[in-house]
Structure 1
């Protein structure tokens, strides 16, 4: 009886491992109709998921849409073929209710797409679609800003992308005299995030970073800076968020 039980447990483990590792391919322009059941692989939170691999082209924009009338959908995607390595996520697409949609620009090669239920134990039918958009080259523009100045900006799909899939604009700031400088970012459309860098390119290790020090979802960095060239990223906290924002630079006493 013990041997039979152990065999049964081992078989069940292999089935679950196989389900978790299984991947299907999907092509741009293709729609996949599927159905989540209790047999599908589960995340740690108990939600069901399936993984799809798409072959992408460098510089190409892709839109992934997951729809279901049976459950609240959730999408994740990332470069490579590891279903656990995702950098772009979406719960509810723009004006799409509980359907999900995400967009990304690829550097080429394989991308993984994880179609997921938002909550534990949800099952039902779904429709997954991948479409190609226009070829985009992310902007390389660097916007100059001075102490005492405010600027309006917008994060959008054609902006640079951080490693976490979030969009950002780069601002160059020259400091003429040592002093306390405050950089603030406000947006009513996403959770703001700031990072301060040495040099004018918004690259390398950040000197400081902030999420909510401006109150609510506003970001603010206050640092004592010596004369020199600096830059900061006007960024969103989460991946693939778009919207209007304001940044300002002031001196602090």
Structure 2
């Protein structure tokens, strides 16, 4: 780490050449201090391999500081965090500050009293000279108070309030309570909406979203508050240069109701209505619960003449998180079909919903137990295996049906695999799969023989057993096929 002196600025203390270097967490830098430095190949490397110079400063809880990093030699990146002898905990980062070209600027609010570390680094691992400055930051922009529920029409304007990155933004504050579930939606026809939810001190983003309100560029945050207290909503455009009109809606949503029990093999009819629970994207849904075992294959089919059907399946434990989803997998217009091999024993939840947040209407849902995945067959090199893909076969994550065959090959053995079918677009997939482990694809082919027939020339990387999947290119395709494996000279 080499540094030279810099011409003094008003109110700025300059670090002189030859100041003693500290450990990896860097030398001290105080508020209202500026310096010049240089990234070199001798500097320490971060986890991503980029060289950096380290600095440290003291701050009180809630203190706001502005840090700038400028360079003509590289694309500057600023990182702020906490450093101990063993690790670096990143708290904030900035690459290109609005209106500063490639230079970086970061306004940081200290969450607690103590020492903080600055890393001055580059985006592309380039090296060279730079200028770093630390200064007091102005107070956070004032936030307009709101009362829930809220429906506010506003406008971002040039020359108006800006966030810590210098982008036009509007700020709103409200009081919340622990366990309160909120839906915050920002809509605009003038810009790509972006939302951030923070604590009252603005030091940490609790949640943020770009296009979570379904189709289009509107933003939506669905968040359960973890503590009583004050919170701040930042409403802005995704692009730091965009301004225009917007509408902000904030409402408390009830906790999701208990899912309805689902029975394998029985179709249920329902209706998506305004009173139903809402997913994070704002779409209303009905939830169904079922029990399953590890390795069990289940299929859910959602049909509707009123809306574009969408399905999600997730664990019933804890907050819902989709393990798999489907939009138009049935291959018959906009109806959904979702196939999932359950990862463990337990209870699962199906969400039946429209793809769009504004859609409502009637639907039917059918849950099918497809049993365990069929065991692979065996094919001998030099022979042809004939079979038929059907709706009961195993399927890929994309919903394509396949039959699996095991075969043995020696290292560097050259093989030619051919799959022909007059019923579907043939697709070959060669890989390995140890017992209890996921399938690992090694080579694939779609139309190597003709427009719809597959042929794959492949060399075995080592002695052992392999699996070839004779499958359709896309979902909902079945029919007869012939698979041949031959040795090549």
TM-score by length of 1: 0.66
Q: How does 1:14-163 map to 2 (within 5 A)?
A: 16-17=222-223, 22=256, 24-27=258-261, 28=263, 29=266, 31=268, 33-37=270-274, 40-43=278-281, 48=283, 50=285, 52-58=287-293, 63-78=299-314, 81=317, 83-87=320-324, 89=326, 91-93=328-330, 97-102=333-338, 108-118=345-355, 120-131=356-367, 136-147=371-382, 149-156=383-390, 158-160=392-394
| Residue of structure 2 equivalent to 1:250 | 486
Contact 1:71–1:122 (Cα < 8 Å) also in 2: no
| Residue of structure 2 equivalent to 1:3 | 145
Q: What do the CA deviations read for 1:21-63 (whole angstroms, capped 9, x no partner)?
A: 73641321473523255983354xxx83536242224487755
Q: What do the CA deviations read for 1:88-111 (whole angstroms, capped 9, x no partner)?
A: 6352536x5433344556564212
Is the alpha carbon distance of 1:11 and 1:50 closer, same or farther for their aligned partners in structure 2, counting shifts above 3 Å?
closer
Contact 2:406–2:465 (Cα < 8 Å) also in 1: yes
| Structure 2, unpaired ranges of 5+ | 1-142, 147-171, 185-196, 198-220, 225-252
The reply on whether 1:181 has 2:415 as its aligned counterpart is: yes
- For residues 296 and 376 of structure 2, the distance between their equivalents in structure 1, rounded to whole angstroms, comes to 20
The structure carrying a bigger helix percent of its residues is 1
Is the alpha carbon distance of 1:220 and 1:77 closer, same or farther for their aligned partners in structure 2, counting shifts above 3 Å?
farther
Give the number of aligned pairs.
Answer: 245
Bigger RCO (CA 8 Å, 6+ sep): 1
Contact 1:88–1:165 (Cα < 8 Å) also in 2: no
Contact 1:143–1:171 (Cα < 8 Å) also in 2: yes
- For residues 61 and 162 of structure 1, the distance between their equivalents in structure 2, rounded to whole angstroms, comes to 12
- For residues 132 and 87 of structure 1, the distance between their equivalents in structure 2, rounded to whole angstroms, comes to 16
- For residues 360 and 482 of structure 2, the distance between their equivalents in structure 1, rounded to whole angstroms, comes to 43
Q: What secondary structure sits across from 2:223 in the alignment?
A: helix
Give the drift of 1:123: 0.6
| Residue of structure 2 equivalent to 1:194 | 429
Contact 1:202–1:231 (Cα < 8 Å) also in 2: no
RMSD: 4.7
- For residues 41 and 240 of structure 1, the distance between their equivalents in structure 2, rounded to whole angstroms, comes to 27
Q: What secondary structure sits across from 2:145 in the alignment?
A: helix
Which structure: larger Rg?
2
- For residues 213 and 127 of structure 1, the distance between their equivalents in structure 2, rounded to whole angstroms, comes to 38
| Residue of structure 2 equivalent to 1:224 | 459
Contact 1:32–1:129 (Cα < 8 Å) also in 2: yes
Q: What secondary structure sits across from 2:322 in the alignment?
A: coil
Give the drift of 1:130: 3.8
Q: What secondary structure sits across from 2:466 in the alignment?
A: strand
Contact 2:300–2:339 (Cα < 8 Å) also in 1: yes
